[in-house]
Amino acid sequence: MDWPAIVLSAELALATLLVLLPLAVGVARWLAVTSIRGKAWIEGLLALPLVLPPTVLGYYLLVAMGSQSTFGRWFEALLGHTLAFSFTGLVVASVIFNIPFAVQPIQRAFEGIAPDIREAAQCCGLRFWQAFRKVELPLAWPGILSAAVMTFAHTLGEFGVVLMVGGNIPGETRTVAISIYDRTQGFDHASAGAMSLLLLVISLVTIAISYGLVDRLLRHRRLR
Amino acid sequence: MNRPFRPVSRLVALLFLGLLAGVAGAAPAKVAAAADLRFALAELAEQFRDDTGHAVSLSFGSSGTFAHQIEHGAPFELFLSADEAFVLRLADAGRTVDRGVLYAIGRLVVFAPHGSPFEVDEELRGLGAALADGRIERFAIANPEHAPYGRAARAALEHAGLWQAVEPRLALGENASQAMQFASSGASQGGIVPLSLSKAAPVAALGRFALIPTDWHAGEPLRQRMVLLRTAGEAARAFYAYLQTPTAREVLVRYGFALPGEAPP
């Protein structure tokens, strides 16, 4: 087992959640209620990482974050190192490729809240933030938790983007998924096998939790 | 209505703990090394750590990929290439301390896993016969696009007049050690791969191999050069010096490398 890689993957997943989840809640809440023109295009753009080959995303991120782009040089001046091939760069990449995994379950949850509940909250004299915090968030939490769990698991498993923008630097960008690839090439099947099994179990547990949460969300709605 | 919040706050607490755990100790020297060094360099890095207390973090891959990543700002401090051209190109681009030193000459072998339907010999006659009567379904080499060992393998196959016959059957490894993995796993009938990997204990047990003469790939001589990058710290500089000591060179020879300036065995 490559423990540093496992720890690194967990850190990456947590950092991704910390950055992405608040943003996703905001965007998902807005998308759930808005009816502006071009909404389908916005939703499409946010869902793009689902269908885009990871190598395409990886290529664009590499070009954008490398020391040969303006953006990359700007970051280099700011951080003292390039964004590509660094943990910070992985977090940026990971936030981007997880957008649909975070936004979609939360959006579905907010969409499931009937408009009359929001109106009732308003009639009770709750201000927007009060209603959001005391009425909407509690109703949407299974969606938010489901988003968190999916994002976490998806980050642990992402390979293509990480390989392209991160390289394979121990303790910096070598995640579990990359380590499995690396150990296989290094004829270390014991280690590759153990880590593969670990990811398999985590993935299964994640999906089970996520399905359980969706179930709960649906039951919630039927009761209403 | 308070109950549903508990898992969320617990999650937030977890997040902060995770970030706190992210702070690490002294940074080891970051080394990017050609994949043919996987076993030899792991041994050398361990010896070096025991001798000096400096830790070395090793990344293995194809020399071309590393050169590209270094050009894009990858934070490596020492680069051990499987050829010269990539190092000299980085030197010309001003990414390196100097033009580096030759540290080894790589050797190629033809490798066949146990149960493979062809005999290995240094003139590739067995491979030629097996290709002619269709016994070879898949044959592994590293990708000649960015792996020096892939280019050398192609040169050797061209020299033997087998390139056209083998080309539709090639399985290309991303780097030399993936090619080794393909060649030895039994998923292919064999491959042309580095001696330094074939000789290592975990691989040698998987099949048989024969050395290919160096003049068969004279255009791709696998003159392996290493260089310190401009970001190199103390540990990286010490490791660079260590790799040029007689002790380290002995290890390289044990893994099948020839030393620069000496006649190949």
For A136-156, the pLDDT digits (tens) are 999 998 899 999 999 999 999
Closest CB from B7, B14, B75 relative to A86:
B75
| Distance in Å, alpha carbon of A128 to nearest chain B alpha carbon | 18
Biggest CA pair distance of chain A: 67
pTM: 0.83
Chain B hits for A188, CB-CB cut-off 8 Å, are: 202
Match domain A3-223 to its CATH number in 2.40.50.140, 3.30.1300.10, 1.10.3720.10, 2.60.40.10.
1.10.3720.10
Mean pLDDT along residues A109-129: 88
Distance of CA B226 to the CA centre of its chain: 13
pLDDT confidence band for B264 (50 / 70 / 90): very low
Paired with B96 in beta bridges are B229
Closest CB from B7, B30, B181 relative to A185:
B181
Interface test with B, best of A25, A185, A213 (most B CBs within 10 A): A185
| A54-68, B8-22, B115-129: range with highest mean pLDDT | B115-129
Going by C-alpha positions, the residue among A11, A4, A191 that lies closest to residue A90 is A11
Closest CB from A17, A66, A87 relative to B15:
A17
Mean pLDDT along residues B96-105: 96
Same fold, B29-104+222-254 and B108-217: yes
Question: What are the tokens at A210?
Answer: 């996520």
Q: Mean pLDDT of all residues in chain B?
A: 89
Spell out the domain ranges in chain B: 29-104+222-254, 108-217
ipTM computed for the complex: 0.77
Per-residue CA distances from B157 to A47, A52, B119, B152, B216 (Å): 47, 38, 16, 9, 8
| Distance in Å, alpha carbon of A45 to nearest chain B alpha carbon | 27
> What fold, for B29-104+222-254?
D-Maltodextrin-Binding Protein; domain 2 (3.40.190)
Q: Do A84 and B73 touch (CB under 8 A)?
A: yes
Closest CB from A62, A141, A186 relative to B72:
A62
pLDDT above 50 for B73: yes
Question: What are the tokens at B212?
Answer: 């290919």
| Distance in Å, alpha carbon of A52 to nearest chain B alpha carbon | 22
Chain A hits for B36, CB-CB cut-off 8 Å, are: none
| Distance in Å, alpha carbon of B22 to nearest chain A alpha carbon | 7
* Res A211: pLDDT: 85
pLDDT above 60 for B18: no
Q: Do B73 and A11 touch (CB under 8 A)?
A: no
* Res A69: pLDDT: 83
Closest CB from A86, A141, A170 relative to B8:
A141
| Distance in Å, alpha carbon of B133 to nearest chain A alpha carbon | 31
> What fold, for B108-217?
D-Maltodextrin-Binding Protein; domain 2 (3.40.190)
Listed in sequence order, the residues at least 6 apart from A110 whose beta carbon sits closer than 8 Å to its beta carbon are A28, A29, A32, A33, A136, A140, A143
| Distance in Å, alpha carbon of A41 to nearest chain B alpha carbon | 31
In whole angstroms, give the CA distance from residue A217 to residue B4: 12
A167 part of contact set with chain B, CB < 8 Å = yes
* Res A214: pLDDT: 76
pLDDT above 90 for A220: no
pLDDT confidence band for B4 (50 / 70 / 90): very low
B73 part of contact set with chain A, CB < 8 Å = yes
Chain B hits for A15, CB-CB cut-off 8 Å, are: 18-19, 22
User: In terms of pLDDT, which residue wins out, A166 or B127?
Assistant: B127
Handedness of CA B212, B214, B220, B222 (dihedral sign): positive
Closest chain B CA to residue A146: B8
Find residues 44-83 of chain A whose CB sits inside 8 Å of chain B. Answer: 62, 66-68, 72, 76, 81-82
pLDDT above 60 for A99: yes
pLDDT confidence band for B26 (50 / 70 / 90): low
Q: How many CB pairs under 8 A join A and B?
A: 102
Closest CB from A68, A145, A186 relative to B177:
A186
Per-residue CA distances from B127 to A131, B115, B136, B168, B181 (Å): 75, 14, 8, 15, 19
pLDDT above 60 for B202: yes
